[in-house]
Each structure stands twice: as structure tokens, then as C-alpha cells.
A = this chain, B = another copy of it.
Amino acid sequence: MKLNTIGIIGLGLIGGSLALDLKKKFPGMKIIGVEKDCKLNEKIIKLGLVDEIKMLEEAVSESDLVVLGTPPDVSVRLLDKILALVTDQVVTDVSSVKKPLIEVASKHNSCGRYVATHPMAGTEYSGPEAATNSLFQNKACIICDHQNSDADALELVNSLFSEVEMRIINMDATEHDRHAAYVSHISHISSFALALTVLEKEQSERNIFDLASGGFDSTVRLAKSAASMWQPVFELNRENIIDVIKNYEKQLGKFREAIANGDTETITSLIGSSNKIKKVL
């Protein structure tokens, strides 16, 4: 991979973890960080995530590749700004919603320099301190509408995510956003709603703590995720997400009715059908 200088905008969980992996694999590579929240700069340097922190314009001008690691609404805004600045630099982003970014890119003459990417890795934590080694290993990295990108830009981004040991998968952006709603975004809504249900009913936190066995923990883990990341995802992928919530509500309704009616056969059949997820996971 021919990459001397990379600019990472937003040094949170994804941007920071990418920086850690690259520093380890390519000690000679220069990593420039851009972070809007100045209070984080000292921490970012201390954690050894980047070589230096610069302003956005400088970072774009000095980098061969710019990675947007910001929340998706910020990435939409910054992509518009960055594509107006680039000459031959390559730009990519990590948002879990891709259509809005591709639409913004399409308005620029430099749109071929952009590669729409969704590295499907993460945890429920955020910020520079959430950055961790090998976060991407063996996970899928979706590249959307690759036909819009210049061949060299595509090759560079492919190499980048292959170097952090991701499996590259090409996908149509519309398809991606629909799948992401079903396989990733709804998991978060389901967890947030579950946490709210339990918190509102169980006034005593002691009860939750005492009674929460492994099951509740894992189902509700994602409810620790940051609003700054997920509120824009839900708004940018609105139609798909409304669709999946409605289908989820339908399935819950089937359980509620079968349980209310003491319909043993239907309850058993619903659980049996859901067990098919075993084959996949």
C-alpha cells in the first residue's frame, strides 16, 4: 500500500482504532489527526493515536488519504467541504448510512476521489479512550457504489481496510442502507427501548443490578451507545428504520397475542423460527 500520510478526522472509537492499527503495521506512516473538541487533543496525543493534530484544511492538503471518522451528520457536512478542497487526495468515511454521503459527493467534480465505506466494527463505547487494537480484524468492510470511485482511489481504500484485516464486500448503497437498518440499527433501537422499559418500571436500580443475569446484560449492552452517534444515523436512514421498527413491532405483537391467548403452539413455533438465527451467527 502506497500511503505516506493519512489524515483522520475525528479520533473516536473508529478513527482512533484505525490509527492504532496503522501505527503498529506502518511505523513510518505519518498520521495527522483533526479533532474539533480541543479538550481531547492532549488525550489523543497521550494515547499515541496520531503524530500531530492540525486544522482540517492543513490535514487535507498534507494527506494522501483522508478518513472521516466523525458521526454521520458531521461526515455529510465535512465531505462537502473536503471534496471542494481535494486535488488528487483520496477521501473515505466510516458512516453506517451511505446514501446521504454519496449524494453529497455526486455534486462535486472531484467525486471520483471519494470511496463510500462502512467498516462494520464497533463497541458500545465512544471517544478516543474507546480506541482499541485489532477492532476491525475479520469483520466486514462494505464499499458502496464503487463504480463511482476512481480506480486508484478504490484500490487505496481497499488496501487500507485489507491491511487492518477486514473482508471487503461491494454493495449497492441503497441495498446497504436497507440491510444496515435491519442488521445493525434496529439492534440499537431495540436496546435503547429495552433499557427505557426496564428503567421506568424498576425504580430501584438495586433490583436491576441484582436480577440482571447474562441475558439482560447482553441484550441491553448497546443502550450504552452515544446519542451523538446514533441520533444522526436514525435520521439519515429514516425510511429504512421506520420500516424495520414497524416489522419489529409486528413480531412483538405476535408474541403478545399468542401469550395472551395461551396459544402454546404459536409461541413454540415463533421461538422455533427465530432459532434459525443459529445457522447464521
Contact = CB atoms under 8 A, between A and B. Distances in A.
Given A199-B273, A249-B249, 17 more contacts: A169-B210, A183-B211, A184-B212, A184-B215, A188-B215, A195-B274, A197-B250, A220-B281, A221-B281, A224-B275, A224-B278, A224-B281, A225-B271, A227-B271, A231-B271, A235-B262, A249-B256
A104 interface: no
Interface in A232-269: 234-235, 238, 241-242, 244-256, 259-260, 262, 264, 267-268
A122 B214 contact: yes
A61 interface: no
Given A214-B122, A220-B277, A194 B198 contact: no
Contacts of A234: 255, 259, 267
A255 B197 CA distance: 12
A222 B224 contact: no
B230 A271 contact: yes
Given A202-B183, A248-B197, A255-B192, A281 B212 contact: yes
A186 interface: yes
Contact of A211 (B140, B196, B260): B140
A157 to B, nearest CB: 18
A26 interface: no
A241 B259 CA distance: 8
A173 to B, nearest CB: 14
